[in-house]
Amino acid sequence: MAGLSDLYQEILLEHNSKPRNFRKVEEANQTADGYNPLCGDQITLYLKVIDGVIDDVGFQGTGCAISRASASMMTQSIKGQTVEKAKEIFDAFHHMITEPDGELDLDTLGDLETLSGINEFPTRIKCAVLAWHTMNAALSGESQVTTE
Partner 1 sequence: MTTVFDVNKVRDDFPILKQWVNGYPLVYLDNGATSQKPQSVIDAIVNYYTTTNSNVHRGVHTLSQQATDSYEGARAKVRQFINAGDDREIIFTRNTTEGINLVAHSYGRQNVGPGDDIIVSNMEHHSNIVPWQMLCEEKGANLRVVPIDDTGELLMDEYEKMLGPRTKLVSITHVSNALGTILPVAEIVEMAHAHGAPVLFDGAQAVPHMPVDMKELDCEFYVFSGHKLFGPTGIGVLYGKAEYLEAMPPFLGGGEMIKSVTFEKTIYNDLPYKFEGGTPDIAGAIGLGAAIDYVNDLGFDWITSHEEELLRYGTEALSSIEGLKIIGTAAHKSSIISFVMDKAHPHDIGTILDEQGIAVRTGHHCAQPVMQRFRIPATARASMAFYNTKEDIDALVKGIDQVLEVFS
Site residues for partner 1 per CB under 8 A: 1, 3-4, 7-8, 13, 38-42, 62-66, 121, 123-124, 127
Count of other CB atoms within 10 angstroms of residue 109: 18
For every residue of 28-57, DSSP letters joined together read -SEEEEEEETTTTEEEEEEEEEETTEEEEE
Smallest distance from partner 1 to CB 38, Å: 7
Which residues are 46's β-sheet partners? Answer: 31, 58
**Nearest CA among 54, 9, 4 for reference residue 28:** 54
For partner 1, which is the closer residue by CB, 35 or 46?
A: 35
Question: In angstroms, what is the minimal distance from the CB of 81 to partner 1?
Answer: 29
Q: Which of 138, 8, 27, 120 is nearest to 74 (CA)?
A: 138
The residue among 58 and 117 lying less far from partner 1, judged by its C-beta, is 117
Residue 86 Cβ vs partner 1, minimum distance, rounded to whole Å: 26
CB-wise, 4 or 26, nearer to partner 1? 4
CB nearer to partner 1: pick between 14 and 84: 14
